[in-house]
């Protein structure tokens, strides 16, 4: 008998929660394929290590962008392999709850459920990421008070006000931590004339990236390919440069938080001043982001204790109480 | 003749379901909402946390263990951050 599963199918990472067991898988959402035969060569962390370092016949891809499936067939194969790794087989088909961005279209929604069913799920239901994040971050969403959660993922950033188990106000933008990496890549190419890969850009972000000045900042030495000569070259990057490079992305995220605050009913707005807003998702780990949002909104921002796992833990809670909470699935309320 | 009976029974069943749904007591929606709110409350969350913690101390699921054994994972480098 298959144990039911909750899946956080993120643009960057896929996490799987198994009913009664907790998180059983946490891997990058990457798949490596043989370009000629179409065979899968690796998934998850193994495939992630291949990004930008493959010979011509291998391609390592992320089949999701902005929280939506860009390649249906590859996504289905990736989900199938990940489910096999947690024990799902042709004879054990579990019920699955999948977390998706709230702003995805009907077509994108159907693509996710179809991919999961074809990959081995007996039944697939969707839940909005901010709702799952709020449950996973242990916010008291069962009470008639304003709970605000900001979920910054790889491809999307969503802010939601939740009260009495439902979303009261929501604002989503298809901008996330991958856009921060891309902005760093573009800046280094434009200003220093060197090309760097997406993994290097991510390492720069994690080493010296920040949304607001922070104490004890240091510089980073970056190696890439000189666009003029084609030779390897080293440049020094400062935190100020990176802040400048990612400013557009950061402002877009902060603006969406402000728009969500403006949509909230006044009765709930006053709760935020006392309770604060909760930041979850890998993008929320960007240094100075909480302080920048706090400075611009004048509302306290708190980091969740489990920023990377909050979404899948919330979906896991739903799978543990499937019958009582099935009314929360996308489509069930409409 | 048998088909007429089958169709009649099917129509009757359908009508019964529709009528039952229409006449559903308002209390059922109240109960359903109450169940949902209770399942989101701190007591329900405690159950999940306990269950997961207990599970963490148990032997791993044979299915999961076999799947993990099939694939030795390199742990020299962390994956990217970001959800």
> Domain limits at A319?
5-131+310-328
Q: Classify residue A62: in a domain, yes or no.
A: yes
Q: Residue A87 and residue B66: Cβ atoms within 8 Å?
A: yes
Residues A262, A184 share a domain: no
Residues A103, A17 share a domain: yes
Of A205, A225, A245, the domain-final residue: A245
CA A233 to chain centre: 32
A130 within 8 A of A256, measured Cβ to Cβ: no
Report how far apart the first and last C-alpha atoms of chain B are (Å, whole number). Answer: 61
Q: Residue A12 and residue B82: Cβ atoms within 8 Å?
A: yes
Q: Residue A324 and residue B83: Cβ atoms within 8 Å?
A: no
Residues A214, A189 share a domain: yes
> Which ipTM value was assigned to this complex?
0.77
Q: Classify residue A334: in a domain, yes or no.
A: no
CA distance A7 to chain B (A): 12
In angstroms, the CA A178 to CA A64 distance is 12
Residues A288, A168 share a domain: yes
Q: Chain B residues within 8 A (CB-CB) of chain A? A: 32, 35-42, 44-45, 47-48, 51-52, 55-56, 61, 63-64, 66-68, 71, 73-74, 77, 79-83
A108: exposed, middle or buried (Cβ count in 10 Å: 0-12, 13-18, 19+)? middle
Domain count, chain A: 3
A216: exposed, middle or buried (Cβ count in 10 Å: 0-12, 13-18, 19+)? exposed
Residues A260, A168 share a domain: yes
Looking at beta carbons, which residues of chain A come within 8 Å of B79? 13, 26-28, 44-45, 48
Residues A194, A157 share a domain: no
In angstroms, the CA A190 to CA A241 distance is 12
Q: What is the pLDDT along chain A (334 residues), one digit of tens a residue?
A: 578 999 998 889 999 999 988 999 999 999 999 988 888 898 889 899 888 888 989 999 888 887 778 888 888 888 888 888 888 877 888 999 999 988 888 888 888 899 889 888 899 999 999 999 999 999 999 999 999 999 999 999 999 999 999 999 999 999 999 999 999 999 999 999 999 998 899 999 999 999 999 888 899 999 999 999 999 999 999 999 999 999 999 999 999 999 999 999 999 999 999 999 999 999 999 999 999 999 999 999 999 989 999 999 999 999 999 999 988 898 765 4
Residues A147, A35 share a domain: no
Q: What sign does the CA torsion over A99, A102, A103, A104 have?
A: positive
- The domain that holds A192 is classified in CATH as 3.90.640.10
Residue A235's beta-bridge partner residues? A222
Residues A297, A317 share a domain: no
CA distance B10 to chain A (A): 26
Task: Say how many residues make up chain B.
Answer: 83
Q: Classify residue A182: in a domain, yes or no.
A: yes
Contacts of A50 (CB under 8 A, 6+ apart): A30, A32, A42, A58, A60
- The domain that holds A279 is classified in CATH as 3.30.420.40
Residues A166, A105 share a domain: no
Residue of A52, A95, A34, A10 lying closest to A203 (CA atoms): A52
Q: How many helical (H) and strand (E) elements, i.e. helices and strands, does chain A have?
A: 11, 18
Alpha helices by DSSP H, listed for B23-61, are 26-40, 42-57
Residue of B31, B39, B19 lying closest to A135 (CA atoms): B39
Q: Residue B82 and residue A153: Cβ atoms within 8 Å?
A: yes
Q: Tally A–B CB contacts below 8 A.
A: 120
Instruction: Kindly give the pairing relationship between strand A277-280 and strand A301-303.
Output: parallel
Q: Residue B82 and residue A86: Cβ atoms within 8 Å?
A: no
Residues A111, A231 share a domain: no
Residues A12, A83 share a domain: yes
Instruction: Kindly give the pairing relationship between strand A147-152 and strand A157-163.
Output: antiparallel
Residues A237, A153 share a domain: no
């Amino acid at each position: 008998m298959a144990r039911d599963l909750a899946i956080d199918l993120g643009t960057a990472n896929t996490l799987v929660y198994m009913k009664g067991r907790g998180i059983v898988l946490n891997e990058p959402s990457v798949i490596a394929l043989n370009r000629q035969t179409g065979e899968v060569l690796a998934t998850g962390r193994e495939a992630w290590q291949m990004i930008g370092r493959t010979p011509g016949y291998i391609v390592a891809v992320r089949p999701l962008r902005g929280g939506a499936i860009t390649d249906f067939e590859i996504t289905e194969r990736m989900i199938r392999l990940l489910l096999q790794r947690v024990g799902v087989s042709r004879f054990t088909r579990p019920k699955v709850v999948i977390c998706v961005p709230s702003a995805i279209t009907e077509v994108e929604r159907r693509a996710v459920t179809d991919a999961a069913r074809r990959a081995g799920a007996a039944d697939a239901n969707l839940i909005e990421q901010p709702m799952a994040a709020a449950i996973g971050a242990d916010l008291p969403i069962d009470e008639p008070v304003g709970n605000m959660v900001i979920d910054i993922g790889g491809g999307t950033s969503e802010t939601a006000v939740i009260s009495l188990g439902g979303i009261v106000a929501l604002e989503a933008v298809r901008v996330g931590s991958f856009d921060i990496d891309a902005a760093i890549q573009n800046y280094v190419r434009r200003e220093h004339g060197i090309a760097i890969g997406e993994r290097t850009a991510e390492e720069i972000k994690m080493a010296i990236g920040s949304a607001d000045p922070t104490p004890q900042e240091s510089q980073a030495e970056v190696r890439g390919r000189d666009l003029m000569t084609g030779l390897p070259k080293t440049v020094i990057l400062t935190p100020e440069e990176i802040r400048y490079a990612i400013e557009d992305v950061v402002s877009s995220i902060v603006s969406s938080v402000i728009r969500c605050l403006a949509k909230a009913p006044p009765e709930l707005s006053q709760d935020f001043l006392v309770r604060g807003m909760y930041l979850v998702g890998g993008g929320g780990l960007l240094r100075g982001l909480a302080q920048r949002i706090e400075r611009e909104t004048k509302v306290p921002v708190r980091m969740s204790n489990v920023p990377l796992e909050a979404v899948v833990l919330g979906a896991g809670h739903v799978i543990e109480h499937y019958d009582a909470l099935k009314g929360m699935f996308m489509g069930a309320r409409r | 003749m048998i088909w007429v009976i089958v169709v009649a029974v099917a129509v009757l069943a359908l009508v019964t379901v529709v009528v039952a749904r229409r006449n559903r007591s308002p209390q059922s929606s109240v109960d359903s909402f109450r169940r949902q709110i209770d399942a989101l409350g701190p007591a329900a969350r405690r159950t999940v946390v306990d269950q997961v913690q207990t599970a963490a101390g148990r032997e791993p699921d044979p299915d999961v263990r076999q799947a993990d054994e099939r694939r030795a994972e390199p742990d020299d480098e962390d994956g990217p951050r970001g959800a």
